[in-house]
Amino acid sequence: MPTRDLPGLLDTLDPAAPQVERHLWLVALLDWIRGDRSSVATAVERLQLLIERLETDGELRHRAQAWWLALLEGVDGTTLLADHGFAQRPVFLSEFFSRLLSRLLPATPQTRDASELYTLLFPHDFDAAWLAGWTRRPNGAWPPHWASTRRAHAPGRRRSRSPSPAA
């Protein structure tokens, strides 16, 4: 994705794009947030700018919500949880070869595996710093339109793939 500015990135936000293009778009967005990785404060400011744009532009917010739902439908989150500490029992050789392969072979955005996507999206130590430096709001609350999306995809909640009948 050639653009390195927020308006250009947001113009290309397409929830109907193929999965690999949506993943590459997210990689480009996170690259924009990170910038040159010299300042956590700058990365947090960029994230806040993105959030403000989403909160003030209804059409953009609608596209972003549809994009987010497409992302959630397109990846399997169980591998992410299992690979980052929630497995039933550790298996040394499996983990060893998995890490060896991840060092030798490049990551691909063409994946349904949330763990592989996570590794592709957050490859730098700097990511932990800017994510830790960001707070949702001064009062810690999620914006109201984000809360409804979070509730719809809360753990343990089933999503219906068929449209619900009109009431």
Quote the pLDDT of residue 139.
57
Q: Are residues 1 and 90 in contact, defined by beta-carbon separation less than 8 angstroms?
A: no
pLDDT of 6 above 50: yes
Residue-wise pLDDT for 57-89, tens only, equals: 999 999 999 999 998 888 887 767 666 555 545
CB atoms within 10 A of CB 29: 20
Give the predicted TM-score (pTM) of the model.
0.61
Q: Are 54 and 67 in contact (CB under 8 A)?
A: no
pLDDT of residue 157: 47
Q: What average pLDDT does the segment 29-53 reach?
A: 92
